[in-house]
Chains A and B, each alone.
Chain A
Amino acid sequence: MANPISRAWRKLFYQDSGSYFLLPKVDAAYPDPPNEGPFGEAGPPVWHWIDRFTYGGKVATPFFYTIIGVWLALLTLVEVYFFTIDDFFGSFFVTIMLLLALLKFVIVVAFFMHLRFDKNILTLVFTAGFLIAIFVFVIMLSVQGQFAPSPQIAP
């Protein structure tokens, strides 16, 4: 812990630093059972890395929340910039914009609404409602012919 990089790392990410968001620093502080996270032990190693870096319990610090707020602002800026160059994306524009909106949606729900740190049943309840809403949304657009190809006028 002597070198400045280690110190900075510890200050940013560890529980005893009073900075950034707080990682559990001992095994006992991790959720029990260990599959408390949305995917448990399944998935590639990178997921465990993400898991470690986003699980802070309800003891995340104001700095952590501020970083999340900055990310949300940056994503909004990116959205508006993409809007100004929508011709560049062509038919992918709508997909890209929806993915960006979904990313912001998930960030707010996971961190600001604490679903990432709360019991999984709450995630299930909200996801169920959201998926039903998406289902109704798609059905409604389909019934109204929004996904049908545009009719062509005969020459």
Chain B
Amino acid sequence: MAQAALEQEQHGHVADTNTGISNRKLLMWVFLASDCLFFGSFIATYLVYRNESIVGPFPNEILDIPLTSVSTFVLLMSSLAMVLALHYAQKSQLGLTRFWILAVVVLGSVFLGFQVYEFKTFVNEGLTIRSNLFGTTFFVLTGFHGLHVLMGVLWLLGMAFAHFKGALTSRSVEDLEMAGLYWHFVDIVWIIIFTVIYLIGFSDGEGIETIEHAASIIGG
């Protein structure tokens, strides 16, 4: 009872379900859990093929760590802005809610800008999705992540302008919480990608440069 009363006080209401959690929220968490599999498979595929390109460019020739570090910082700060937006929505402060949602949209767009710039630079340097195995797995993985970010930006943009016109309701706060969960998930996926693909991948991304190297990989 004390727990229920505390939740009543903190969240406004307790969902009338068996779990006490709204079904939409539970569904969102199930979706995010399944999305772990989606990105996990892409990351594993990247790791399997990262050093098996016959021709360059190879990861350590082309990945721009300083640029990606900045974009990682931008995405982390967008997560902070997102949680602040939700905080103010729960406090029914519409102006601050909208301000922080727009901050997330701006930071997310900046991140996308970095990604477009990076892709363009790679293409100019000869790395496309068809160049080699590194290019294929890299563009598919980071491209799908970018697509997730784009979806999040559009979702939040719609919320900022269409959803939060009038007073905040418990329904609209929950909508924002769903969008927030999605956005934070996009952030944690990037945390893994940045470490595994960029930082670790750069240190270990030489590709197959010689016949002897190729022979050693195929066990010849």
Identify B6's interface contact among A29, A137, A152, CB under 8 A.
A29
Identify A101's interface contact among B11, B192, B203, B219, CB under 8 A.
B192
Q: Which of A13-70 contact B (CB under 8 A)?
A: 28-29, 31-33, 36, 57-62, 65-66, 68-69
Give the secondary structure class of B's interface: helix
Q: How many residues of B are counted as interface, with CB atoms below 8 angstroms from the partner's CB atoms?
A: 60
Contact with A along B26-48 (1 / 0, CB 8 A): 10011011101101110111011
Contact with B along A101-130 (1 / 0, CB 8 A): 100110011011100001101100110111
B184 in contact (CB, < 8 A): yes
Q: How far is the CB of B46 from chain A (nearest CB, A)?
A: 11
Q: How far is the CB of A89 from chain B (nearest CB, A)?
A: 10
Which residues of chain B are within 8 angstroms of A93 by Cβ–Cβ distance?
200, 203
Q: How far is the CB of A79 from chain B (nearest CB, A)?
A: 6
Q: How far is the CB of B205 from chain A (nearest CB, A)?
A: 12
Q: Given A29-B6, A65-B80, A72-B76: A83 and B203 within 8 A (CB)?
A: yes
Q: A101-B191, A128-B33 are in contact. List 6 more A-B contacts (CB 8 A).
A: A101-B196, A105-B188, A108-B191, A111-B83, A133-B36, A134-B40
Question: Which residues of A come within 8 Å of B, CB atoms?
Answer: 28-29, 31-33, 36, 57-62, 65-66, 68-69, 72-73, 76, 79-80, 83, 86, 93-94, 97-98, 100-101, 104-105, 108-109, 111-113, 118-119, 121-122, 125-126, 128-130, 132-134, 136-137, 140-141, 144, 146, 150-153
Of the A-B pairs whose beta carbons lie under 8 Å apart in the complex, a sample of 6, sorted by A's number, is: A109-B184, A111-B83, A112-B187, A125-B29, A140-B45, A151-B216
- The 4 A-B residue pairs with the shortest CB-CB distance in the complex, in nearest-first order: A129-B33, A133-B40, A69-B80, A101-B195
